Structure formats: C-alpha cells, structure tokens
Amino acid sequence: MLERDFVPGGPSRMQMKDLDTALDAAAEASLALPITANLQELFRALLDAGGNDFDHSALLLELERQSPGVRLGDGPDSF
C-alpha cells in the first residue's frame, strides 16, 4: 500500500462479493458484524468511485478520500 501498487491480485469487486456473502450469512444467523458492515461500506464507496478492478489494497484510496489532505507513500499510483 505504501508503494501505491494497486495492480489487481484480488480485485475489490471480489472482496465486496465476499463481504456481502459474510453479512448475508450473519443476518440469517441473527448475528451482528458491525466491523464487517463498516468495511463493506468502505468497499462500496471504493467501487462507486470506479475501483472495481483495483486490488483490494486500494481501499487505502477510499480512506484517503475520507481524510482530505492525507496521502501515504511517495510514489505514483499503479493500477
């Protein structure tokens, strides 16, 4: 992440699918997973911003979007 390398190894859209599956199973079991739900919201925002095919580590981009003026790492972004 600090090297800003977001070339897909595990695309964010697949991470989102897995989060949806986990939260669906939790709901069926009447189990609350608030941290997983928060992570799902962050990934949804990343996907809505066009990050479907970025590596799941690109979640850093969404965290930076939510923290204006903050950018980790010095290199250029690689997608």
Q: Consecutive 10-residue runs of the chain (79 residues): their mean pLDDT?
A: 93 96 98 98 97 95 96 94
In a domain, 23, yes or no: yes
Give the chain's domain count.
1
pTM metric for this prediction: 0.89
Of 57, 47, 74, nearest in space to 10 by CA: 57
Q: Which domain holds residue 21?
A: 12-65
In a domain, 5, yes or no: no
Give the DSSP letter string of 21-72. HHHHHHHHTT---HHHHHHHHHHHHHHHTT-TTSBGGGHHHHHHHTSTT---
**What one-letter code names the amino acid at 16?**
M
Q: What local confidence, expressed as pLDDT, does residue 30 receive?
A: 98
Q: What local confidence, expressed as pLDDT, does residue 70 receive?
A: 96
In a domain, 61, yes or no: yes
